[in-house]
Structure 1
């Protein structure tokens, strides 16, 4: 993702910043989807293609509900988007959309479908192969995000689970070539409207809700490690996102699940606003960068391991091995978790890492990657993946921490 010159984590003053406000309509609660036809008309969409996964299409009535609401505004359904948005299914979806002459995309799902829809729009608009549009990585040099200038179809996101993918311009697809994933950035693929419809959010299995919502919870916590150094708009988003996520996550699966899901959707949108307001959460501090970059590599390279598994499994190890280099971040994370008397001494990293581990395990997430079938010998491979992550290493800062990063990975994999 790209930012203005002042939108970076090296900003010396929290009061020198640039922010953007993007046009977005949000509809939340019971029957929120009733507003979909108006949004389609507002943007001149008469031949929308619905993008979704197989389960939501075959095991729920949500897609039929959307088709009924949109009347003749839906031209077809592509239900082949799978976990991680693999390049092959995204290319298939774009081909179908072009054949049907779709003039809009309705993405129905969570992270994979939502981010995949953006890349479908890019393929349709640019008419170029994925590799030509993707961010370019050259060893030792900053990665280069490609400028994608062609117009893009309007996108409308219907969430089936809370996800921070809901209102972003950046995206990535799983790729089976020389890189584990391809990264893209195009502000024109931000959605025109997002729907937090209570019935739609009830269609996802609890396991999916817990997984996508843990990503929101995790980012809310990690961003609390860098609040006071941010501009006032970002400070507000980070504090409120953490308050919402920490209170809502334990309520998933309870009688209060509907309100919890919407609170988590709101926390995720605040994380999106964090980016627009200049916060750059992906690289807000060293620990977030490192754990995030490794988790993405784990998710894309090893089948059956979610990004949330990677987040939970890497954070404690990263805190232990890289935390001593950023004591202010450790103190801020500890305070967010309610720790007191946080002295900046040799035991600080272990104390905060243990608290994070305990917090994750109380929510049902293992604080290590051990036992997930990842060979210990793959640690250098995961380091390489992390260094190629644009969001985490756009300025090559992680290059200076390769040894500590590898030690953290090895510790997380160790039984």
Structure 2
């Protein structure tokens, strides 16, 4: 069998003062009219926004503060209106996953004029295959200043929530992978510890799913980045969250960035369920994936024991006997995750985050066709999803 790996094109700039590189990055891309995309809280952070404004100089022509959690469709549409009104040729997201996804969505919606969200979304067919619509229009470049551990800034994929349909649709387009990702410790230091914890668990889930997914688990390049991401996140999240340790925070953010490699083709069962979960209930993306994380491992465990053994090793669990994982390994893996959840005080049960148990069947119907499900090595039915949600309750 002949295989091929292409490195995902992205430029990373990190370290103290990294935000100051923005003007040069935009200059190299020959763009002159930037719209900053962020949420209200980031927009009100004068120190951070002044640093971004100083770095962009005259290239910043507008700031759109409409980004919201889970990227509601209405906020994207409002962003497209602002984009057109100010004749924008570049987008600079400042914040976490919602800011990054909003900027990418604005780029796609503005370019693919006349196509609605559900015409552009990626989905899993009834046969378990992935269907990705062609989005051929040229896209406005996106630059990302990350203030969380979401890893959305690394990827060519984003989610938009259709609140009326109760669905979070995923859109894939290589042309909207951010041109540059900027990690500045001064920016991340302004982020609340609870947000670092939640987004850190989301990044951990990326890497875990990549290591057992059908899409990337046998790819040594993605094995390497996912394993390093797990090591950096598990080792540094407690100090980053509980102590605000700048070195631990910087290491965790790099771990999150590494978890973004391989998301397309790597995320699977947990993300597939989490998309309708967050679209229909007041749960953040990170908290949802944190809660689902051990349950996805449990469901998939017996289908790919060799992959689970590699995952166990990445989590610091010793695999005894032959090279495959057994039930004791499974329990030890789940214990590592649960201990980390306790240390950084993130939720681990759906009942604790306002999820309506009566909605499980409706969520399962949507989740079964989510684009991420095509990557799971064990086929999952709507009934299986309901059982998994019950276990997570």
The TM-score with structure 2 as length reference comes to 0.88
Matched, 1:85 2:66: no
Deviation of 1:84 (Å)? 0.8
For the residues of structure 2 that align with 1:396 and 1:317, how far apart are their CA atoms?
Answer: 13
Structure 1 window deviating more from structure 2 (400-409 vs 94-103): it is 400-409
Number of matched pairs: 388
Matched, 1:306 2:306: no
2:256 alignment partner in structure 1: 268
For the residues of structure 2 that align with 1:138 and 1:193, how far apart are their CA atoms?
Answer: 33
1:233 aligns with one of 217, 221, 244:
221
The Cα offsets for residues 331-387 of structure 1, whole Å up to 9 and x where unpaired, read as 444443444465766666445434433343233234322333323332222222321
3-state SS in 2 of match to 1:173: strand
Deviation of 1:398 (Å)? 6.0
Deviation of 1:28 (Å)? 0.9
1:406 alignment partner in structure 2: 386
The alpha-carbon distance between structure 1 residues 60 and 17, as it changes in their structure 2 partners (threshold 3 A), is farther
The TM-score with structure 1 as length reference comes to 0.84
1:62 alignment partner in structure 2: 48
Matched, 1:290 2:269: yes
3-state SS in 2 of match to 1:274: coil
3-state SS in 2 of match to 1:80: coil
Deviation of 1:38 (Å)? 1.0
3-state SS in 2 of match to 1:195: strand
Matched, 1:393 2:378: no
For the residues of structure 1 that align with 2:326 and 2:377, how far apart are their CA atoms?
Answer: 25
Q: Name structure 1 gaps, 5 residues minimum.
A: 1-12, 283-288
User: How do 1:14-413 and structure 2 match up within 5 A?
Assistant: 16-128=2-114, 129-135=116-122, 139=126, 142-225=129-212, 230-253=218-241, 257-274=245-262, 280-282=265-267, 289-303=268-282, 305-340=283-318, 342=320, 349-350=330-331, 352-390=333-371, 392-394=372-374, 399-413=379-393
CA RMSD in angstroms comes to 2.8
3-state SS in 2 of match to 1:370: helix
Deviation of 1:41 (Å)? 1.4
The alpha-carbon distance between structure 1 residues 235 and 139, as it changes in their structure 2 partners (threshold 3 A), is closer
Deviation of 1:50 (Å)? 0.7
Q: Name structure 2 gaps, 5 residues minimum.
A: none
